[in-house]
């Protein structure tokens, strides 16, 4: 250990070091190394100097799934998983849900500051006037099978946008970066709504510039023969709050995918398409869909004890519970639960709510979940809202992708401007065979 040690002020016998460093002794050689600690972190590359002999590659850190590895520094989103705190650029999620709109929040994530009135008006105008997509995108969507999963369609159309905006590959051009950010945020609801209408065999509805961001989305989804769609302001606000909650969540699987793919200096549409692909998975954005399927399977509150027994016997997972970072209530789950009640005032109560509430209560009272610090996450209740809005389960993850786009874009912008950025290229621990002699076909098997 470091040689300068002092007794701590409390005199409780704990030892505090005076230096911001870590001393490591390699027991293979007896040598001691001092590694600098900055922001409670050591640099993994500092381990490389630890060698048995000169030819040795040097020590690496082994961390499958990056459970304890910071891959970047970021000023965008702060999470304290133990305390259940989530902040965007220093503003709590509760404050933003109470006082801001989704587009205001997107501006904050991307620019680092809340907009002035004028900045917000300009931003909303810009987003509103880039919601249209090229007619060829419409034809592209028409080419999918009638039952194509909307996330698959969203993934493909997001990637396809890069072919419509080739200058976006000039990622060092500030103007191009800005246009890509605006276009991605503006067009994602249009792509999502086209995918939804395609599944239903309904004509696509073009964006309506007179409506708010969520109001326009509701119009593109649900407008039928009426000349003008008139969204319910309560649903518009509920959607806006849901989208604020989902806007960013620091280095999760899809954001890491955006950063990882974007680190190759590919255009931002392709990088964000990687994020959509990652979000599609049932352990990430697909969890809200899985929650609804789970509630359907449970069927009635009487079946909850049996279902939980199955979870504890590891026959299945309690979807919508647990989180890699939150080891306490996910603050987003609390806000969503309140939001559910407001949406149900408009749409009428979904009977699955009673099952979800009872399931949550039983799980929170159970030692299995308590010991593992498993609490409801953002996806436990969000699916109920989407179902109340008349959305099929296949659309749930799409509803997550729309707002997460602002987070992906903010993280991508931060990454491309970070002087420490290099192409992402993890190491491996090779455990396979070496230097084998080639076996001719006749001698195999
Ligand atoms: N149901 C039952 N047991 C669980 C669950 C669950 N949902 N989640 C974790 N556990 C158990 C797990 O089996 C393990 O038990 P043990 O220590 O006895 O082996 C322990 O809790 C620790 O779990 P872990 O798998 O090491 O935790 P992780 O950090 O690798 O996984 C997670 C996090 C979110 C993938 C996981 O909790 C999970 O699969 N949850 C269900 C899917 C879900 O709701 N995902 C949405 C996440 S929030 C939205 C988003 O960010 O995308």
- Relative to beta strand 91-92, strand 85-88 is antiparallel
| Contact present, 127 and 119 (Cβ < 8 Å) | no
Beta pairing partners, 188:
none
| Contact present, 232 and 389 (Cβ < 8 Å) | no
| Contact present, 188 and 273 (Cβ < 8 Å) | no
Please state, in angstroms and rounded to a whole number, the distance separating the CA atoms of residues 380 and 320. 4
Helix (H) / strand (E) containing 400: helix 396-416
The torsion region of residue 230 among left (phi > 0), alpha (psi -120 to 50) and beta comes to beta
C-alpha 241 – ligand 1 centre gap (Å): 25
- The reported pLDDT for the residue numbered 270 is 98
Whether 17 shows a pLDDT value over 80: the answer reads no
Is 129 marked active-site? no
Establish how many alpha carbons lie within 13 A of residue 410's alpha carbon, considering only the half-sphere containing its beta carbon.
Answer: 26
- The reported pLDDT for the residue numbered 285 is 87
Ligand 1 — pocket residues by CB below 6 A? 249, 252, 283-285, 287, 311, 317-324, 372, 374, 377-379
- The reported pLDDT for the residue numbered 4 is 34
- The reported pLDDT for the residue numbered 338 is 85
pLDDT digits (tens, 9 = 90+) for 185-204: 999 999 999 999 999 999 99
Q: Which of 394, 257, 375 is nearest to 326 (CA)?
A: 375
Helix (H), strand (E), coil (C) string for 46-110? HHHHCCCCCCCCCCCCCCHHHCCCCCCCCCCEEEECCCCEEEECCEEHHHHHHHCCHHHHHHHHH
C-alpha 248 – ligand 1 centre gap (Å): 20
Altogether, the residues listed in the chain come to a count of 445
The catalytically annotated residue of 46, 130, 134, 284 is 284
pLDDT digits (tens, 9 = 90+) for 94-121: 999 999 999 999 999 999 999 999 999 9
For the entire predicted model, the pTM comes to 0.90
C-alpha 321 – ligand 1 centre gap (Å): 7
């Amino acid at each position: 250990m470091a040689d300068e040690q002092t007794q701590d002020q409390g005199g409780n016998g704990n030892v505090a070091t005076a230096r911001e460093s870590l001393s490591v002794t390699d027991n293979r050689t007896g040598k001691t190394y001092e590694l600098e600690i900055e922001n409670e972190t050591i640099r993994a590359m500092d381990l490389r100097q630890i060698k048995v002999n000169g030819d040795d590659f040097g020590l690496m850190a082994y961390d499958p799934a990056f459970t304890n590895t910071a891959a970047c520094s970021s000023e965008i989103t702060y999470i304290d998983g133990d305390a259940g705190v989530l902040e965007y650029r220093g503003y709590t999620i509760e404050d933003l849900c109470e006082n801001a709109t989704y587009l205001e929040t997107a501006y904050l994530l991307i620019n680092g500051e809340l907009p002035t009135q004028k900045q917000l008006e300009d931003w909303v105008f810009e987003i509103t006037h880039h919601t249209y997509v090229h007619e060829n995108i419409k034809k592209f969507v028409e080419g999918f099978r009638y039952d194509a999963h909307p996330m698959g369609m969203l993934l493909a159309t997001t990637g396809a946008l890069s072919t419509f905006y080739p200058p976006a590959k000039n990622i060092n051009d500030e103007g191009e970066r800005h246009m890509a950010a605006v276009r991605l945020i503006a067009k994602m609801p249009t792509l999502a709504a086209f995918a939804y209408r395609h599944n239903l065999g309904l004509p696509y509805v073009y964006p309506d510039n007179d409506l708010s961001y969520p109001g326009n989305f509701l119009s593109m989804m649900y407008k039928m023969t009426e000349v003008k769609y008139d969204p319910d302001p309560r649903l518009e606000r509920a959607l806006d709050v849901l989208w604020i909650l989902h806007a960013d969540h620091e280095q999760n699987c899809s954001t890491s995918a955006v950063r990882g793919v974007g680190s190759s200096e590919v255009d931002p549409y392709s990088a964000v398409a990687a994020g959509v692909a990652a979000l599609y998975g049932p352990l990430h954005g697909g969890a809200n869909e899985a929650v609804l399927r789970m509630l359907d399977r449970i069927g009635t509150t009487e079946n909850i004890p049996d279902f939980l027994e199955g979870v504890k016997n590891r026959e299945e997972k309690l979807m919508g519970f647990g989180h890699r970072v939150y080891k306490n209530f996910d603050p987003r789950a609390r806000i969503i639960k309140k939001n559910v009640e407001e949406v149900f005032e408009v749409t009428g109560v979904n009977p699955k709510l009673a099952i979800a509430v009872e399931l949550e209560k039983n799980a929170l009272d159970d030692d299995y979940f308590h010991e593992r610090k498993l609490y409801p996450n953002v996806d436990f209740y969000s699916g109920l809202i989407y179902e109340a809005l008349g959305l099929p389960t296949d659309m749930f993850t799409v509803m997550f992708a729309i707002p997460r786009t602002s987070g992906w874009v903010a993280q991508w912008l931060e990454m491309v401007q970070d002087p420490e950025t290099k192409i992402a290229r993890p190491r491996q621990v090779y455990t396979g065979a070496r230097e084998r002699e080639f076996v001719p076909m006749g001698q195999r098997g």
